[in-house]
Amino acid sequence: MHSLRVPAPSEHLDTLARRPSVDAPAGSRARGLYSSFVSSARLGRSFAAATDVAPREGEWELGGAGGLPAGLRRDAMPRHVAVIMDGNARWARRRGLPAAAGHEAGVRSLRELIDLCREWGIGVLTVFAFSSENWVRPKAEVQFLMGLFERVIKMELENFMREGVKICLIGDSLKLPKSLQKVFVDAEEMTKNNSRLQLIVAVSYSGKHDIVQACKTIAHKVKDGHLELEDISEGLIGRELETSCSEYPCPDLLIRTSGELRLSNFMLWQLAYAELFFVPALWPDFGKAEFIEALLSYQQRQRRYGARVS
């Protein structure tokens, strides 16, 4: 058994898991064709601006109000952050490691993100751990991931209780191994009164299926006479979605790592007005610096929801 707080089991992982600093050339984090698109589309000034704006390592311990890094405003922090944790397998392949090593490294990134969200007053963090589409992956990898989820939740439960983290599962849990289902149920029950940070874990989740199951529930209610057709509204659908377990079901900010620019069937309804932030870094390389960049970008953007802000 090992804790997330000590170096990962693999000997190589610790040395290889160094995250590139903010100052590193764009190419080290944004490889291949994507980096050329990004850098040419942004004409170079964007990266320079990013390095000017983002605090250097260690700088965030000083300045900022209430422990926030310099540049971030507490009143403009997102209430709900969602993350598509993409890139573990690619990260491992680039280092000549098995995919499992990438997922283990990904868990460390998640642990750090949970800590940051807790410290910086973000109320809800949703993570896309396993999509409904991921079931087609090689059986060995799927089994490893199921085992990893079980192991991590069991290990972290004590920390969650101490840190006030409330865990919720969304997705088609019936497809999960029985043991993992039980682990989630127990963890949800144990942490249900925690209130510092709600961690929503999307496993075997599909945004489309979420909408469909909400519609079916509503349709049943109409059929049974509990609801009139005229009562069907956006609010009603929102309340029937799986994310109704949260006080703030709709993310303000979505971060996707690894440079892929798509939603991949994640929380489609809920992301209608979310700020989407796509990071070239692979998930195991996503750290404090990248999260600060995302938050700074979020705070820069004026959220108008289609109306006019004078």
**Which amino acids are annotated catalytic?**
86
Which are the contacts of 76, defined by CB distance < 8 A and separation ≥ 6?
Answer: 298, 299
Window contacting another protein (CB under 8 A); options: 55-63, 177-185, 192-200, 230-238: 230-238
Q: Which residues contact 61 (CB under 8 A, 6 or more apart)?
A: none
Q: Is 140 in the site for another protein (CB under 8 A)?
A: no
HSE-CB for 62 with a 13 A CA cutoff: 5
Is 184 among the residues that bind another protein (CB under 8 A)?
Answer: no
Distance CA 124, CA 122 (A): 6
Nearer to another protein, 156 or 293 (CB): 293
- Does residue 174 interact with another protein by CB under 8 A? no
From the CB of residue 293, how many other CB atoms can be counted at a distance below 10 Å? 18
Q: Is 3 helix (H, G, I), strand (E, B) or coil?
A: coil
* Whether 85 contacts 127, CB under 8 Å: yes
Which of 132, 191, 243, 246 is in the footprint of another protein by CB under 8 A? 132
Looking at beta carbons only, is 190 or 248 nearer to another protein?
248
Q: Judged by CB under 8 A, does residue 261 bind another protein?
A: yes
Contacts for 207 with CB less than 8 Å, ≥ 6 apart: 263, 265, 266, 267, 268, 269, 270, 271
CB nearer to another protein: pick between 159 and 217: 217
Cβ proximity of 214 and 236 under 8 Å: no
101 binds another protein (CB under 8 A): no
Please answer whether residues 38 and 30 qualify as being in contact, where contact means their C-beta atoms are separated by less than 8 angstroms. yes
| Of 9-17, 33-41, 59-67, 112-120: span binding another protein (CB under 8 A) | 33-41
Least Å from the CB of residue 11 to another protein: 27
Contact status: 208 vs another protein (CB under 8 A): yes
262 contributes a contact to another protein by CB under 8 A? yes
Q: Which of 274, 282, 289, 295 binds another protein (CB under 8 A)?
A: 274
CA 230 to chain CA centroid, nearest Å: 36
Measuring CA to CA, which residue among 280, 284, 279 is closest to residue 13? Answer: 284
Residue closer to another protein by CB (options 68, 211) is 211
User: Locate tokens 């209130």: which residue?
Assistant: 195
Q: Does 181 bind another protein (CB under 8 A)?
A: no
Shortest spacing between CB 257 and another protein, in angstroms: 10
Say how many residues touch another protein, by CB under 8 A.
Answer: 70
Residues that bind another protein (CB under 8 A): 26, 30, 33-34, 37-43, 46-47, 49-50, 53, 132-136, 172, 175, 206-209, 211-212, 215-216, 218-220, 222-223, 229, 232-234, 237, 260-265, 268-269, 271-280, 293-294, 296-298, 300-301, 305-308
